[in-house]
Amino acid sequence: MSKPHIIAIPYPAQGHVIPLMELSQCLVNEGFKVTFVNTDFNHKRVMSSLADETHKRDDKIHMVSIPDGLEPWEDRNDLGKLCEAILRVMPGKLEELIEKIKEEEGDKVSCIIADESNGWALEVAEKMKIKKVAFWPASAALLALEFCIPKLIHEGIIDDEGTALKSQMINLAQGMPTLKTEDLTWLRIGDTTTQKIVFQVMLRSNKTVKLADWVLCNSAFKLERGAFTLAPQILPIGPLLASNRLDDSAGNFWPPDSTCLEWLDQQSPSSVIYVAFGSFTIFDQIQFQELALALEQTNRPFLWVVRPDISEATPYPEGYKERVGSRGLMVGWAPQQKVLSHPSIACFLSHCGWNSTLEGLCNGVPFLCWPYFADQFLNESYICDLWQVGLKFTKNESGIIPKKEIKQKVERLLRDVYFKARALTLKEMVMSNVKEGGLSNKMFKNFIEYMKS
Element (H, E) at 295: helix 285-297
Provide CATH code, domain 5-247+435-452. 3.40.50.2000
pLDDT single digits (tens) 250-260: 889 889 999 99
Whether 5-247+435-452 shares its CATH topology with 259-430 is answered yes
Element (H, E) at 285: helix 285-297
Q: Are strands 131-136 and 109-115 parallel, antiparallel or unpaired?
A: parallel
Of 280-284, 336-340, 435-439, minimum mean pLDDT range: 280-284
Element (H, E) at 126: helix 119-127
Evaluate whether 215 touches 235 at the Cβ level (below 8 Å).
Answer: yes
| pLDDT value of position 302 | 98
DSSP state letters, 378-424 = HHHHIIIIIS--EEE----TTS---HHHHHHHHHHHHH-HHHHHHHH
Evaluate whether 65 touches 39 at the Cβ level (below 8 Å).
Answer: yes
| pLDDT value of position 407 | 98
Query: Omega of the bond prior to 239 within 30 degrees of 0, cis?
Result: yes
d(C-alpha 272, C-alpha 269), whole Å = 8
What does the pLDDT average to over 410-437? Answer: 96
d(C-alpha 15, C-alpha 355), whole Å = 7
Phi (first) and psi of residue 115, to 5 degrees: -55, 135
How does residue 59 score in pLDDT terms, banded at 50, 70 and 90? low
How does residue 283 score in pLDDT terms, banded at 50, 70 and 90? confident
Higher local confidence (pLDDT), 207 or 60: 207
Q: If 0-12 CB within 10 Å is exposed, 13-18 middle and 19+ buried, where does residue 125 land? A: buried
Quote the pTM value.
0.95
Q: If 0-12 CB within 10 Å is exposed, 13-18 middle and 19+ buried, where does residue 256 land? A: buried
How does residue 53 score in pLDDT terms, banded at 50, 70 and 90? low
What does the pLDDT average to over 330-348? Answer: 96
Over 90: is that where the pLDDT of 144 sits? yes
**387, HSE (Cβ side, Cα atoms, 13 Å):** 34
What CA–CA distances, in Å, run from 19 to 167, 216, 239, 354? 34, 12, 9, 10
d(C-alpha 188, C-alpha 151), whole Å = 20
Q: Could you give the percent of the chain with pLDDT greater than 70? A: 98
The ranges assigned to domains in the chain are 5-247+435-452, 259-430
Q: Residue 217 pairs with which residues in a beta bridge?
A: 136, 236
How does residue 54 score in pLDDT terms, banded at 50, 70 and 90? very low
Q: Residue 9 pairs with which residues in a beta bridge?
A: 114
d(C-alpha 5, C-alpha 24), whole Å = 11
What does the pLDDT average to over 107-128? Answer: 95
Provide CATH code, domain 259-430. 3.40.50.2000
Evaluate whether 219 touches 139 at the Cβ level (below 8 Å).
Answer: yes
Over 70: is that where the pLDDT of 219 sits? yes
| pLDDT value of position 52 | 61
